[in-house]
Amino acid sequence: MGFLGDIRRDYKAVFEKDPAARNGLEVVLTYPGFHAIFIHRINHILWNWHIPVFPRLISHFGRFLTGIEIHPAAKIGPGFFIDHGMGVVIGETSEVGENCLLYQEVTLGGTGKEKGKRHPTLGNNVVVGAGTKILGAITIGNNAVIGANSVILKPVPDNAICVGVPGRVTKKKIIRMTTEDGLVEVTDYFPDPMLEKLKELETKLSEMEKRLDAAEQLNKTGGRMRIHNTMTGKKEEFIPVKPGQVLMYVCGITVYDHCHIGHARSAIVFDVMRRYLKYKGFNVTYIKNFTDIDDKIINRAKQEGITWNVVAQKYIEEYYRDMENLGVAKADFEPKATEHIKEIIDIVKGLIDKGYAYEVQGDVYFEIGKFADYGKLSKRDLEDMLAGARVEVNEKKRNPMDFALWKTSKEDEPAWDSPWGPGRPGWHIECSAMSRKHLGDTFDIHGGGADLIFPHHENEIAQSEAYTGRPFVRYWVHNGFITVDKEKMSKSLNNFFTIKEILNKFDAEVIRFFLLSTHYRSPIEFSDEQLRESEVSIDRYFTTAARISDFLNQDHSSEKTGLPTGQAGPDEKLLADLLAQFHDKFAEAMDDDFNTALAIGNIFELIRVVNKYLDGKPSGVKAVELVSKTRALLTEAGNVLNIFSHTPEEWSRALMSIKCPELTEEFIMTRIRERQSARDRKDWAASDAIRKELEERGIVLEDKKEGTGWKVKIS
């Protein structure tokens, strides 16, 4: 294309690219961009003819006239337009393709002082925003758009949008610009770095707002907590649905037999979680249900020749007796399945309506194939499930893994009216119904033993989420198994111990301590020996508590502050430091996924240090202050963990009733008095005989300033 052809294309480009251009005369007379390119096209010919100086001079005058500086050597394709144009600089070795558009203050500049190619090359249909600098022998691809004020130091590929300093490609987008059909309005695609920065700032601000809210929330609740979520397999920061409130549901027992130590673990673990959440300042609603209708209950009733509800009632009472003896508080609500038949039927109906469940001859099954997320908690796919589960043969089911929501009752079985005829609920549906009724569609913590993850909790999720269309639970929390000789304790293996059996041999305090001294997710190996170790630890606590009481009961008001001469100070400093850190350490342990084992470790560290301190026979008000603070902190931590709930005297009596039930406190006190009178008579032989006799029967005497005390011998 020759000179005239190029000028014609440039002239047309003005109308294509500038919506303000009205008529030809205006363009020819008043468009500096058009003047600049017109001058350049003449100049470039002169340059090619090797005419000296003159082209540079014209370029120089052109700059005065237009504010645009184009080196006469620059190669510029037809259809070129410079909009506004003031301050545009195009260097000597620049090359510009067809139909390009430049805005004001664009520099197609060079780098370095070497000769040769040192300026950019623009492809066809390139748009360069105002103020942009493209420096060096850089290639800008066809159809590229460069945002305003960018500094481009690297090649830009075809069809790219490039913004920022230094310029980076944000999007690859084909911008269709053809000369024949006119140009597509490119400004619509034009990225604005300022706007993008603002958007970025906006996002950052809203993120910070969220963080502030969370921080405020943390202040209210006293710190950051992390809870292991079975769903993600990770410890997650605990953020409840409603600030300051925790909604918690734990699967309770099927009431057809006595509770065993496995039930005790779940009860104690979740009781302590609830206590700690309350201690943190949360308003906790804790639900634990009773499954009071089930095949096992019906079978037990048949065996015993009584009705199913008598069986259920009997074992609910037994459960309450066990829990009371164990020292575990009741939940806020303890709903029963049979009291929620209406809610259960509503959900089953809803699931059929929504196409998640189907009815066959009075039975209703949940069709797991319809719930895409089935298996997300237990991380199983259908094959694993089929391989791992004992699947009952049931012709009625569409898929062997489909589970019963509603079952028809046989003649002699309990039955409730339903749209599918008389029947009773399947096991899983009750928890979906009861949790929804008492806690709503979405709640914070759902707990239970690890053996409930599959299928029970998996099925709860399927039912609830399919029915409500909302997430069911935020944190899935599961406690570990109890093993006996390394085997999981279970009814089926018949290697279990009932709570009653264990309470015959050990105080409830010992059982609670034993179950909490291992992290709730770890398995616990159960044996009498382990319990005896816990008993020794608890006894150490009570011995210390008694020692602290003795110390505080003495009058220290007239004593000088500080330790007696000759006593070194490090024990005092150690105790004072430990007391100062104790709250933080305790909270740190418990905030870390309820690490009761570590929290108990901290408690025993304090016990060790205070004993050492008391060994030094401290005196004065400072000592009283430290020792009373120790007592207050031990009591506080004990209350949260529900351990150390006795007084030392109660502990001694409790131990006596288990270890030497034939003795009475009265008898021991009489023998102590008799021994005292022997000592008063200086009849050492008689006094020793009494001590020996009591020791043989399991009682140890301790002579103190205030008189003789007694303790049950441990181990």
How far apart are the C-alpha atoms of 319 and 316, rounded to whole Å? 5
- Provide, rounded to whole angstroms, the least separation between the CB of residue 252 and Zn ion: 8
Which residues have a Cβ under 8 Å from the Cβ of 345 and sit 6 or more positions away? 406, 416, 418, 419
- Residue 453 DSSP class: I
Per the DSSP assignment, residues forming a β-bridge with 286 are 248
Q: Which of the residues 498 through 557 are near Zn ion (CB under 5 A)?
A: none
Please choose, out of 247-255, 510-518, 553-561, 640-648, the segment that lies near Zn ion by the rule CB under 5 A.
247-255
Are the beta carbons of 355 and 536 closer than 8 angstroms? Answer: no
Closest C-alpha to 477, from 361, 367, 594, 368? 594
- Provide, rounded to whole angstroms, the least separation between the CB of residue 265 and Zn ion: 17
**How far, in Å, are 77, 102, 152 from residue 132 at the CA level?**
20, 9, 8
Please choose, out of 12-20, 245-253, 328-336, 612-620, the segment that lies near Zn ion by the rule CB under 5 A.
245-253
Nearest CB to Zn ion, comparing residues 442 and 567: 442
What burial class does residue 562 get, using C-beta atoms within 10 Å of its C-beta: 0-12 exposed, 13-18 middle, 19+ buried? middle
Nearest CB to Zn ion, comparing residues 251 and 311: 251
Please choose, out of 18-26, 246-254, 636-644, 651-659, the segment that lies near Zn ion by the rule CB under 5 A.
246-254
Nearest CB to Zn ion, comparing residues 97 and 425: 425
- Provide, rounded to whole angstroms, the least separation between the CB of residue 522 and Zn ion: 23
> What values do phi and psi take at 435, rounded to 5?
-65, -40
- Provide, rounded to whole angstroms, the least separation between the CB of residue 621 and Zn ion: 55
- Provide, rounded to whole angstroms, the least separation between the CB of residue 253 and Zn ion: 10
How far apart are the C-alpha atoms of 287 and 207, rounded to whole Å? 34
- Provide, rounded to whole angstroms, the least separation between the CB of residue 294 and Zn ion: 12
Nearest CB to Zn ion, comparing residues 159 and 459: 459
Token pair recorded at residue 254 = 């099927």
Please choose, out of 166-174, 298-306, 344-352, 425-433, the segment that lies near Zn ion by the rule CB under 5 A.
425-433
- Residue 647 DSSP class: -
- Provide, rounded to whole angstroms, the least separation between the CB of residue 457 and Zn ion: 7
Nearest CB to Zn ion, comparing residues 161 and 431: 431
Nearest CB to Zn ion, comparing residues 341 and 503: 341
**Of positions 431, 545, 600, 606, contacts Zn ion by CB under 5 A:** 431
Number of C-beta neighbours around residue 426 at 10 A: 21
Nearest CB to Zn ion, comparing residues 312 and 656: 312
- Provide, rounded to whole angstroms, the least separation between the CB of residue 315 and Zn ion: 17
- Provide, rounded to whole angstroms, the least separation between the CB of residue 467 and Zn ion: 15
DSSP states along 248-260: EEE---BSSS--B
Q: Where are the beta strands (DSSP E) in 21-120?
A: 69-70, 75-76, 81-82, 89-90, 95-96, 101-102, 107-109
Number of C-beta neighbours around residue 654 at 10 A: 18
**How long a stretch of residues is the chain?**
715
Please choose, out of 26-34, 82-90, 415-423, 431-439, the segment that lies near Zn ion by the rule CB under 5 A.
431-439
Token pair recorded at residue 634 = 């031990």
Nearest CB to Zn ion, comparing residues 428 and 585: 428
Closest C-alpha to 497, from 524, 468, 536, 458? 524
Nearest CB to Zn ion, comparing residues 368 and 473: 473
- Provide, rounded to whole angstroms, the least separation between the CB of residue 390 and Zn ion: 20
- Provide, rounded to whole angstroms, the least separation between the CB of residue 438 and Zn ion: 13
- Provide, rounded to whole angstroms, the least separation between the CB of residue 619 and Zn ion: 58
How far apart are the C-alpha atoms of 100 and 10, rounded to whole Å? 10
Please choose, out of 249-257, 312-320, 392-400, 559-567, the segment that lies near Zn ion by the rule CB under 5 A.
249-257
How far apart are the C-alpha atoms of 680 and 691, rounded to whole Å? 15
Helix (H, G, I), strand (E, B) or coil at 166: coil
- Provide, rounded to whole angstroms, the least separation between the CB of residue 454 and Zn ion: 12
Which residues have a Cβ under 8 Å from the Cβ of 56 and sit 6 or more positions away? 72
> What values do phi and psi take at 119, rounded to 5?
-120, 165
- Provide, rounded to whole angstroms, the least separation between the CB of residue 427 and Zn ion: 8
Nearest CB to Zn ion, comparing residues 284 and 431: 431
How far apart are the C-alpha atoms of 189 and 126, rounded to whole Å? 13
β-bridge pairing 473-479 and 443-449? parallel
Helix (H, G, I), strand (E, B) or coil at 76: strand
DSSP states along 462-524: HHHHHHHSS--EEEEEEE--EEETTEE--TTTT---BHHHHHHHS-HHHHHHHHHSS-TTS-E
Are the beta carbons of 500 and 472 closer than 8 angstroms? Answer: no
Nearest CB to Zn ion, comparing residues 431 and 531: 431
Count residues binding Zn ion (CB under 5 A): 2
Print the SS3 string covering 193-248.
HHHHHHHHHHHHHHHHHHHHHHHHHHHHHCCCCEEEECCCCEEEECCCCCCCEEEE
The C-alpha R_g of the chain, in whole angstroms, comes to: 42
Nearest CB to Zn ion, comparing residues 125 and 291: 291
Nearest CB to Zn ion, comparing residues 193 and 252: 252
| Amino acid of residue 322 | D
Nearest CB to Zn ion, comparing residues 161 and 251: 251
Per-residue x/- track, 32-71, Zn ion (CB under 5 A):
----------------------------------------
Nearest CB to Zn ion, comparing residues 108 and 433: 433
Please choose, out of 204-212, 243-251, 261-269, 555-563, the segment that lies near Zn ion by the rule CB under 5 A.
243-251
Please choose, out of 128-136, 321-329, 424-432, 547-555, the segment that lies near Zn ion by the rule CB under 5 A.
424-432
- Provide, rounded to whole angstroms, the least separation between the CB of residue 251 and Zn ion: 3
Confirm or reject binding of residue 251 to Zn ion (CB under 5 A): yes
Interface ranges with Zn ion (CB under 5 A): 251, 431
